[in-house]
Structure 1
């Protein structure tokens, strides 16, 4: 064993050495439909305007006033509920890590339905908190009774509910969510985080209900809005609660360039709204085409992705890739996802390529 290998073995946490890093697929030369990105770039005139604006940013200074401006602009954009406040994160990934850090008390745990977003469990384990996963039903709905039993048994500090869920793309029943929110309220401790990463494509939101539930937080990202490269997420909740969580946030976690790009995007929110409308129409077209494809079983979606079950996920994934289309094979994430692929909704041209490649691959 080399000196470096010995040093790593003796220095780095054993659980970290045993983990797998977050895998990102190489996508060069492929139609990239694997990461739920908005496929549209800004029109040329807005690209030029943004470039000139970013050129004027004082990158020699730490970001302070510009971040406050983003918080104010986002509050206006979402219609911040009375008595609530928002904090920013370097994507929602950082917010998930900060929540685990802020709630790391002896005996605490983090709970979420499975299959779900992998960062909930990863953040818990990296923080040394137990993670409790509760399987969804066979049709990817919340198992309310199992969730309530797990909450009663483990009394989690954080319960995550992705709305819509990743990778299943569906919106769960609001009555089931209300029972879970109520159960956490009744135990006198713990928070419920509604993760609305795909909100631009969903028909419902829990944001208007925040004022009724002081234990509730709503988390969103601008990645699906169309700013995946900017890396900006935000967490909304009661003022006193956000003030506590914000204490563990690094002081300059949002760059001045990212803040300025966000302000620019919010000033042109109508362009991104137009893109979302087109993507929802394309989602419906993809759903119809997949339903008409022998061997494909698409599931309902309120996100910019579609989960589809095929006879052989590995073969279909390889067939799509050979035809220049990259999707995500998610069958290894959980037994409920057997032979499932996750398809991002792309441009009309990309979706046509996807439909044709899927028919040929099956």
Structure 2
């Protein structure tokens, strides 16, 4: 339980910060952890040993230097960054979201995003003192084009976030609708491709057409959630301005080397992503046969399900050793919904058994 601040200290902390809830990470001790969309596969032992040798040889007494620049170059090559675009690194995409809000904090600025969506879009706006405008998705979790365009016209947001695909719904929205929103945007549009390794489409080839569009990715879903590397791509002139608010040495030399190592062995991670996509299909098929369970299509490594009583099912699955994410209180559209991470075949079999028993 959080202790109350003494009055003389409470006066120093913003009131809105004191009333906020911190980003919650569930305790997964002793549980099968399927709540955070992590890649369930590790590196083979030989690659683990090779990575350990490389990390052990790094000059930890020096600030990060050329290896961080080498990582940015390697990511640009891996992503096939279009000509005329540049790339900057973040300590995960969470930091990049904060940096965008900081860079765009001019009088009257606001941030707009569909809801339900990634909580950091709204949190970054609040922490930077910007207005946040949430626009509800349809009941089927598609973009409400008319509502989005009306909100853009009314509020003239500085930044619009479009997750591609979305979290926690795992939906990949209609490209024609996204293009009309991009065309209508008076400010920046950030296409968040956090789940790109599992998605059937990417926006990156369209970046040169739209100098006001940024594309954001993370290596967390690639398989490096513990390494904390995100990257932001877009027109060179735009990236150069946002890069000015990035803290120096925000990516450690250990993280950079781990990222470089992963890209050198990208085929291993691509094979893992392929297995996860295959398991996603099997999970969706198995869930479709369960009475009382509703699913939606997924282009990510998670599946959103609606059950008769999300709280009871969440507790029951946890008692059976399986931890998933109860998203039912995040937004009214998510009533009685759980988010299931796609795991290994054994993980998924255990999760399905626990879910079936709780129904």
Query: Could you state the TM-score of these two structures normalised by the residue count of structure 2?
Result: 0.98
2:282 maps to 285
1:47 maps to 48
Structure 2 CA distance for aligned equivalents of residues 4 and 248 of structure 1: 31
Structure 2 CA distance for aligned equivalents of residues 96 and 222 of structure 1: 15
5+ long unaligned stretches in structure 2: none
5+ long unaligned stretches in structure 1: none
Alignment map for 1:1-362 (pairs within 5 Å): 5-184=6-185, 187=186, 190-362=187-359
Structure 2 CA distance for aligned equivalents of residues 339 and 243 of structure 1: 44
Structure 2 CA distance for aligned equivalents of residues 3 and 66 of structure 1: 44
Corresponding residue pairs, total: 357
Which segments of structure 1 move beyond 3 Å, counting only runs of 4 or more?
Answer: none
Structure 2 CA distance for aligned equivalents of residues 320 and 298 of structure 1: 18
Structure 2 CA distance for aligned equivalents of residues 296 and 28 of structure 1: 27
CA deviation after TM superposition for structure 1 residue 64, in Å: 1.4
Q: Deviations over 1:211-248 (max 9, x none)?
A: 00001000000000000000000000000000000000
Give RMSD over aligned pairs: 1.0
Structure 1 CA distance for aligned equivalents of residues 284 and 8 of structure 2: 52
CA deviation after TM superposition for structure 1 residue 322, in Å: 0.8
CA deviation after TM superposition for structure 1 residue 202, in Å: 0.2
CA deviation after TM superposition for structure 1 residue 147, in Å: 0.4
Structure 1 CA distance for aligned equivalents of residues 5 and 215 of structure 2: 43
Q: Deviations over 1:262-319 (max 9, x none)?
A: 0000000000000000000000010011000111111110000000000000011011
Structure 2 CA distance for aligned equivalents of residues 57 and 234 of structure 1: 23
Query: Could you state the TM-score of these two structures normalised by the residue count of structure 1?
Result: 0.98
